[in-house]
């Protein structure tokens, strides 16, 4: 681990708080930044250095400090309409912070920069697909504001690389974990979390795409993979997929949740919504190619308390 800290933006959120905590447990000095940290997240991060405020102010506050790396996870994922802003404003809310983070990382002497991208860059009919999965070879065409910002972010991140400054974008798929909660910039929870919550609240799980096959990444696994990724050279790939996690149909997942919540009904809507294939990678080496992913039954056992199954 480096003597200089890794700065992680968006570390008050679901994904990046786990990444920050995992780096800290591995012995790496971490600076966790976000607009605000709720009490539960702050407690989970323990003695990790936290800086709150708008990203521009936070990055200005660390001026003059040396960094070993920067992981940029801060993003506005909520829909522009839900936020009451234009698509242009939504794009700006994501692109300006990334450009600033790249500049600050380089100025602070960081040798590595990781941009957390998303499988949202893909439309359902993109191709090519290998063995029914979207890999790094699949050409992304999704054009929603969030999707376009992620794809543009990948291009910017690649373009910022230079001698002594490695950059890479990591595309994340469906991710679940024990600390998932809504926040203003991430209003929509994972489909699995919504299934569990619906079973608990109403006893009914509504499905709009029962035949959809989706990958499910257990967040602690992902965080360990990212720690391993920053411990080795990034290599020639500008964009990497976060491995090939376990895959399950929505209907089978809903049935598994219902089995653990006795009395839950499953209601299927028609017609079925188009969905992208699950995530995969064509990388045959590296930390995500060999990661031992938590199986879906074990994920469900951890997310649904044992007393709920009685």
pLDDT of residue 183: 54
pLDDT of residue 308: 53
Cβ-proximal residues to 235 (8 Å cutoff; 6+ apart), any chain: 286
Share of the chain above pLDDT 90, in %: 85
Question: Residue 69: which of 227, 294, 300 has the closest Cα?
Answer: 227
pLDDT of residue 63: 86
Strand locations in the chain (E)? 6-9, 30-34, 49-52, 69-72, 112-118, 166-172, 175-176, 204-207, 213-215, 217-218, 239-241, 247-249, 265-268
Domains (range + CATH), the chain: 6-176+217-241 (3.40.50.720)
What residue ranges of the chain have pLDDT lower than 50?
185
- Buried/exposed code over 248-262 (b: 16+ C-beta within 10 A; e: otherwise): bebbebbebbbebbe
pLDDT of residue 309: 57
Q: Are 33 and 7 in contact (CB under 8 A)?
A: yes
DSSP result, 45-81: HTTSEEEES-HHHHHHHTTT---SEEEE-----S-HH
């Amino acid at each position: 681990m480096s003597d200089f800290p890794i700065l992680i933006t968006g570390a008050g959120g679901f994904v990046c708080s786990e990444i920050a905590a995992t780096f800290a447990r591995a012995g790496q000095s971490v600076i966790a930044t976000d607009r605000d940290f709720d009490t539960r997240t702050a407690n989970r991060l323990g003695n990790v250095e936290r800086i709150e405020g708008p990203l521009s102010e936070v990055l200005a506050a660390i001026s003059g400090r040396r960094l070993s790396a920067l992981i940029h996870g801060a993003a506005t994922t909520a829909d522009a309409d839900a936020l009451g802003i234009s698509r242009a404003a939504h794009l700006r809310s994501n692109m300006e912070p990334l450009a600033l983070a790249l500049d600050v990382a380089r100025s602070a002497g960081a040798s590595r920069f990781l941009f957390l991208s998303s499988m949202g860059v893909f439309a359902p009919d993109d191709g090519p697909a290998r063995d029914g999965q979207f890999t790094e070879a699949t050409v992304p065409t999704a054009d929603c504001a969030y999707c376009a910002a992620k794809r543009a972010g990948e291009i910017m991140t690649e373009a910022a690389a230079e001698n002594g400054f490695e950059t890479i974008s990591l595309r994340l798929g469906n991710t679940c974990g024990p600390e998932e909660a809504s926040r203003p910039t991430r209003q929509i929870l994972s489909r699995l979390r919504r299934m569990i919550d619906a079973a608990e609240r109403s006893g009914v799980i509504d499905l709009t795409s029962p035949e959809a096959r989706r990958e499910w990444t257990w967040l602690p696994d992902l965080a360990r993979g990212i720690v391993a990724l920053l411990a080795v050279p990034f290599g020639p790939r500008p964009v990497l997929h976060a491995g090939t996690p376990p895959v399950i149909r929505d209907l089978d997942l809903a049935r598994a949740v219902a089995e653990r919540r006795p009395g839950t009904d499953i209601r299927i809507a028609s017609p079925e919504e188009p969905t992208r294939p699950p995530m995969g990678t064509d990388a045959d080496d590296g930390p995500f190619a060999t990661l031992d992913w938590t199986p879906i039954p074990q994920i469900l056992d951890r997310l649904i308390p044992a007393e709920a199954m009685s």
